[in-house]
Amino acid sequence: MLKDVERILIDEKELDEITSRLADKINHDYKDSDKPLILLIILKGSLVFASDLMKKINLPLELEFMKVSSYGAGTKTSGEIKIHLDLMRDHLEQYDLLIIEDIVDSGRTLSRLTQLLKNRNANSVRTCTLLDKPSRREVDFAPDYCGAQIADEFVIGYGLDYNEKYRNLPFVGILKREIYS
């Protein structure tokens, strides 16, 4: 796998600092809420990020999962999201939802998902992403919590994949262009 990595963009120490900083903010922002917090983990890419982040959140929380996709087997976004696995929870008005995502690109996935969950009357819906590529935005969307903004490059590792591979790399790296072009 390492030979396919152009260079390391965010190493393990920096990832640890990012999750600490985000957890501090989340701990502060939700500490006075009277509703239980649900971390809504978006499979599969945010799994590694979410598991590191949640260990640093010192509030009572519950976990739920959704699987959505806006990408096929390539690196270009396909206009709309598909829901492959839906949230298995009723009475969302009783919860604060914090959506955990790996990366925001066009912004379509999280803007649609946020809208969907607001329409289901969640008490609050916020978004937390490890990475953001603001230069790629196609819809008006800004995450509430963001680990790092990055340039328009295809990244893998720490949960992020290319064709389902590289998720287990412990760092975020830039994928060599020759692998996907």
Please select the residue that binds Mg ion; options are 40, 45, 81, 130, rule is CB under 5 A: 45
Residue 105 appears among annotated catalytic residues: yes
Q: How far apart are CA 162 and CA 171, in angstroms?
A: 14
What's the distance, CA 75 to chain centroid? 17
- Angle, alpha carbons 66-67-68 (nearest 5°): 115
Provide, rounded to whole angstroms, the least separation between the CB of residue 60 and ligand IMP: 27
* Chain contacts with ligand IMP (rule: CB under 6 A): 45, 70-71, 77, 101-109, 154-156, 160
The answer to whether 117 and 92 are in contact (CB under 8 A) is yes
Provide, rounded to whole angstroms, the least separation between the CB of residue 33 and ligand IMP: 26
Q: Which of 105, 132, 152, 161 is catalytic?
A: 105
Provide, rounded to whole angstroms, the least separation between the CB of residue 42 and Mg ion: 6
The entry of Mg ion, ligand IMP, none that residue 109 binds, CB within 5 to 8 Å by partner kind = ligand IMP
Of all residues in this chain, which one has the CB nearest to Mg ion in the complex? 45
Q: How far apart are CA 119 and CA 108, in angstroms?
A: 16
- Residue 159 touching Mg ion (CB under 5 A): no
Identify the residue whose tokens are 């066009």: 106
CA proximity to 77, closest of 146, 141, 172: 141
What residues have CB less than 8 Å from 6, skipping those under 6 apart?
173, 174, 175, 176, 177
Q: Please, which residue, 52 or 101, has the CB nearer to ligand IMP?
A: 101
Question: With CB under 5 A as the contact rule, which of the stretches 16-24, 39-47, 110-118, 135-143 interacts with Mg ion?
Answer: 39-47
Catalytic residues: 105
